[in-house]
Structure 1
Amino acid sequence: MSILKRKKAILALEDGKVFYGYGFGATGEIGETTGEVVFNTSMTGYQEILTDPSYAGQIVTMTYPLIGNYGVNKDDNESRKPFVEGFVVRESSSVYSNWRAQGSLQEFLAENGIVGIEGVDTRALTRHIRSIGAMRGIISVEADSEAAVVEKAKNAPSMVGRDLVKDVTVGKPYSWINNEKGTYKVVAYDFGIKANIIRCLSNAGCNISVVPATTSADEVLKMNPDGIFLSNGPGDPAAVTYAIKTIESLLGKKPIFGICLGHQLLSLAMGGETYKLKFGHRGGNQPVKNLLNGRVEITSQNHGFAVDPKSLNIKEHAWQVGQTIPQVGWSGTSKAGKVEVTHINLNDGTVEGLRCLEIPAFSVQYHPEAAPGPHDARYLFDQFIELIREG
C-alpha cells in the first residue's frame, strides 16, 4: 500500500488505552472491527495464524516487527478462510519475495474482509497486555472520536462464556482417506480443526472422518471408529456444553486424543473446570516439560483458557517457576477414574497434558502438528496409534 494512500487508524482497548497507526487490509467499507486483543510471539507463520480457527473472536498482534515479507499462498492455509477479527503489526511489508508466494498479505486481508492496523508500537501494546491482561478492543480506520471508539470496545462481546465453535465448525461431514497406508479409522470432531492436524493423523496411518461439533455420541459410535480425535478451537470451553456432554458419553467407549480446546473439553467431560488465563499462551516457542520422561519440548500454542488441576483432585504442589519440579504426586481422580498430569508449562506451571489411567484417553494443551522444535511433539500422534492398537 502506498504511503500516500495510507489511512490513519487507531486501536482502542476497553481500559481506554489507545494506539495509533495506519489501516491496511480491508479498510474500505468495513474499516472497523472488534475482538479480544491478544499477542503471538511467532517470528514466522502469519498466514497459518490468520487461518487458524482458534483465533475466531480475536484481534491478533504479532510481536515480530516485520510481517508480510514472504507473501501468502493457498497451500499454507490451515482452514477454509481467515477467522481472526483483526490484525496488528509494527510494519506490513510493502513488497514480498518468496518462490511460493501467490500474492501479498495486504491483498489477502482485503480479499477476506480482515481489517488490519500497521505502524503500531507493538512492543508497548504487548507489555500493556502482559501487565493488564487480554482485553476487548477495536480497530477503527479514520475514526472521528476516540471516546466513541473506546466505548465500542467496552461493549464488544466478552470471550468468557462465549461459544465460538458453532461459528467455525464444518457444516457437514467429510473424509480424508490415506489410500497408501490408511489402517485405522478415526473420527475427528471439528471444533475448529487445522488442516495440518488432519495431515499428521493421515501420515500416522489413519483414514479420517471429520464431523461437525454438534455430532452426537450415538452417531459417532455407529461409524465404529478405532479412535476419536478432539480438535482445537476458539472461545470459552465451558460454553461448549453440547460437546462436553457428547464427550462424557464417549469416555471409555473408544480411545480418545484431544489437543488445545479438545484437551479442555475432555477435562470438563471428566468433571474438571477451566479458567481464563491473564493473557494466554500464543506462539511457537513455549517450553513444556514432559513429566513422564523428563524431556523439555518446544511447543506451539494458542489458547486463553487452562485446566484447573485442583478440580480433578490433583494434588497441589508448592512448585514455582525456577524450582525443581516434583516427579510424583501429579495424579488425581475424575468421573473417568484416575487421571494424571503428563506435561506442564515451564513459564507458569499450568497443566499442558493429561492422561486417564483407567480408560484410553489423553490430551495436550499445545499443538503437536505446528512444527516447533521443529518436531518435538510429533510423537503424540504415534502415541494415539499405540492407544488404538491397545484398545
Structure 2
Amino acid sequence: MKYTTRQQALLLLSDGTIFYGKSIGLSGIAYGEVCFNTGMTGYQEIFTDPSYFGQLMVATNAHIGNYGVNDKEVESDNIKISGLICKNFSFNHSRPDATESLENYFKNQNLICISDVDTRALVSYIRENGAMNAVICTDGTSIEDLKLALANVPDMKGLELASRVSTKKPYFYGEENAKYKVSALDLGIKTNILRNLAKRDCYIKVFPYDASFEDLASFNPDGYFLSNGPGDPDPLESAINVAKQIIEIDKPLFGICLGHQVIALANGVSTYKMFNGHRGINHPVTNLETGKGEITSQNHGFAVNKEELEKHPDLVITHLHLNDSTVAGMRMKNKNCFSVQYHPEASPGPHDSSYLFDQFIVNIQKAKS
C-alpha cells in the first residue's frame, strides 16, 4: 500500500451489489464482513475495538474525522477494523486536544477508507439483506478479479478470530497492592474494561485467549473475567472449558459480550449469528430484575439462544434488548456468575450500566467473606 492522491473507489458486496465512492488517499484492497455502527461520536474507540477485527465498518454519522484523534482514546494498541466506509471524510479537524488528523492516523496504520458513499442507502441495504462479506477497492482492480477474491473470504460464522487480537503473553494492569486480584481471559479485551476494574481497586493479570484454567488460577485471583472479542464464540473450545472450570469452583465470574456467549456455551446454551447484529451507543436494554431501563453501547454479531436459556434450570435472563427482545444479560441461579451482551465500560455519555462492575466487586467481597 502507498499513499496517493484521491481517486475513484468502490465497495463490492458478496451478492454483487456495488456502491461507488472515493479513496481518502490510501491505495489498496480491504476485505471483511460489512456492518454499520449507529453511534454519532466515538469513532476512534470503534476503530480500535478488537471486537471489530475482520469487519468493514460503515459509519452512519455523516461526518467522520472532524475532531481528529487523541492518543488516549484508544481501546487497543492499533486500528482493528479492516476498512472504513463513510459519507463525508474530514481532512481537517478542529478539536484543540487532538494529537493528529484522522487522515494521518489511517495513513500511518495503512487503513483503507472509501468516502462519498451513499451510506443511508448502504445501511438500508444491509438492514434488508443482512451482514455479508465485502471488499473495498481503491486501486483500480477490476470488478471480476475482486469477485473472484471475495469468493474466497471466509464467512464470519464458524470463524475464530480471538487468536488474532489476544495478547501473546500475560501482562499486568493496575496497582500491584490493590485490594482485589482478577484473572482476565483476553479474547479481544478493551482497554477501558481494564481501566474500570483498576478504578475499583483491582490488580488484573491478563492471559492469552488459549490460557488454561490452571494458568488463570495460578494468579490466585479473587475473581475471573471473560472479555469481549471478535468472531464466532463456538470455536473457542479452550475458553469454554475454562469457563466450565471456573463455574465448577464457584469463584466470582463476569463476562462481557464474547465472554457472555462463552459462558452460555459452557452451560450448554447455543449461540447464533444475527441477521445484522447490534452496533451503536444508543441501544435500549431493560433490567428485568430492577425494572430499570439502560441506554447501552453494543457491538456484537452473535447472540445467545433465548429459548434454550429460558428452559435452562440453572440460568435466568436478567436483561433484554428492547428493540428485538434478544438476550442482553444472564446470571446463574446457584453460582457466582453473571454476564451481559453489551459494553458497560463504554459509557457513551450515560453511565447507566457502570453498576455491573460494582456488582462484580460486591460478588468478590461476598466470596472473600
Q: Does 1:12 align with 2:12?
A: yes
**TM-score, structure 1 length as denominator?**
0.90
Residues 286-335 of structure 1, C-alpha deviations (whole Å, 9 max, x = no match)? 000000011110000000000002233x15xxxxxxxxxxxxxxxx32xx
Q: 1-side partners of 2:342 and 2:25: how far apart?
A: 30
Q: How far 1:8 sits from its partner (Å)?
A: 0.9
Q: Does 1:208 align with 2:204?
A: yes
Q: 2-side partners of 1:228 and 1:144: how far apart?
A: 48
Match 1:155 to one of 149, 152, 157: 152
Q: How far 1:179 sits from its partner (Å)?
A: 6.0
Q: How far 1:245 sits from its partner (Å)?
A: 1.4
Q: Does 1:21 align with 2:21?
A: yes
Q: 1-side partners of 2:90 and 2:228: how far apart?
A: 30
Give secondary structure in 2 for the equivalent of 1:191. coil
Q: Does 1:367 align with 2:343?
A: yes
**Alignment-mate amino acid for residue 164 of structure 1:** L
**Alignment-mate amino acid for residue 20 of structure 1:** Y
Count of residues in correspondence between the two structures: 363
Q: Which ranges of structure 2 fall in alignment gaps of 5 or more residues?
A: none
Q: 1-side partners of 2:73 and 2:26: how far apart?
A: 21
Provide the residue aligned with 2:318 in structure 1. Answer: 342
Q: How far 1:144 sits from its partner (Å)?
A: 4.1
**Alignment-mate amino acid for residue 19 of structure 2:** F
Residues 151-185 of structure 1, C-alpha deviations (whole Å, 9 max, x = no match)? 332321110111000000001111112368x2110
Provide the residue aligned with 1:328 in structure 2. Answer: none
Q: Does 1:43 align with 2:40?
A: yes
Q: 1-side partners of 2:117 and 2:133: how far apart?
A: 17
Query: Is the CA contact 1:26–1:111 (under 8 Å) kept in the aligned structure 2?
Result: no
Provide the residue aligned with 2:334 in structure 1. Answer: 358
Provide the residue aligned with 2:217 in structure 1. Answer: 221
Q: Pick closer, same or farther for the CA change 1:183–1:156 going to 2, 3 Å.
A: same
Query: Is the CA contact 2:5–2:25 (under 8 Å) kept in the aligned structure 1?
Result: no
Query: Is the CA contact 2:30–2:137 (under 8 Å) kept in the aligned structure 1?
Result: yes
**Alignment-mate amino acid for residue 245 of structure 1:** N
Q: How far 1:18 sits from its partner (Å)?
A: 0.3
**Alignment-mate amino acid for residue 8 of structure 1:** Q
Query: Is the CA contact 2:282–2:297 (under 8 Å) kept in the aligned structure 1?
Result: yes
Give secondary structure in 2 for the equivalent of 1:236. coil
Q: How far 1:145 sits from its partner (Å)?
A: 2.3
Query: Is the CA contact 1:252–1:360 (under 8 Å) kept in the aligned structure 2?
Result: no
Query: Is the CA contact 1:56–1:234 (under 8 Å) kept in the aligned structure 2?
Result: yes
Q: Which ranges of structure 1 fall in alignment gaps of 5 or more residues?
A: 316-331
Provide the residue aligned with 1:327 in structure 2. Answer: none
Q: 2-side partners of 1:340 and 1:55: how far apart?
A: 28
State how 1:1-391 maps to structure 2 within 5 Å: 5-24=5-24, 26-27=26-27, 31-178=28-175, 182-253=178-249, 254-312=251-309, 314-315=310-311, 332-333=312-313, 338-391=314-367
**Alignment-mate amino acid for residue 205 of structure 1:** D
Q: How far 1:374 sits from its partner (Å)?
A: 1.5
Q: How far 1:38 sits from its partner (Å)?
A: 0.2
Q: 2-side partners of 1:241 and 1:356: how far apart?
A: 20
| Cα RMSD (Å) | 1.4
Give secondary structure in 2 for the equivalent of 1:97. coil
Q: How far 1:373 sits from its partner (Å)?
A: 4.7
Q: 1-side partners of 2:142 and 2:360: how far apart?
A: 54
**TM-score, structure 2 length as denominator?**
0.96
Query: Is the CA contact 1:25–1:113 (under 8 Å) kept in the aligned structure 2?
Result: no
Q: How far 1:132 sits from its partner (Å)?
A: 0.2
Give secondary structure in 2 for the equivalent of 1:249. helix
Q: 2-side partners of 1:134 and 1:183: how far apart?
A: 44
